[in-house]
Amino acid sequence: MPRATSVAEVFAAMPQVFVPENAAGMNAVFQFILSGDDGGQWNVTVANQQVQVAEGTAANPNMTLSLTAADYLAMINGETNPMNLFMQGRIKVAGDMQLALKVQSLFKMPTP
């Protein structure tokens, strides 16, 4: 995925950069709550090695990630490490922490 310049662009590109073999056996809904400029809410459903992305909130997500849109773009673009953001309290995770750890492997991310 080329360098992302907006959050909406990232979510629009997710189906193209999805790695189905890394989602074998997974059936989960991920909720993203991004605050600040260019923020918003999106949900990503992974089931049967397929992905669906929708704007808005999911009724019962398995895992919710909350962070600023700026931090999310920096993470997606490989400019910051998600674990560092978590340790600094800049990413909040609710629900299944194991799913949060698998998110990156589900999508081909750029290398810094």
Under CATH, which number does the domain 7-103 receive? Answer: 3.30.1050.10
Q: Which residues contact 43 (CB under 8 A, 6 or more apart)?
A: 29, 30, 31, 32, 53, 54, 56, 57, 58, 61
Q: pTM of this prediction?
A: 0.91
Q: Where are the domains of the chain?
A: 7-103
In contact, 16 and 105? CB cutoff 8 Å: no
Return the SS3 of 10. helix
| 61-100: pLDDT as tens digits | 999 999 999 999 999 988 998 889 999 999 999 999 999 8
pLDDT digits (tens, 9 = 90+) for 42-59: 999 999 999 999 999 999
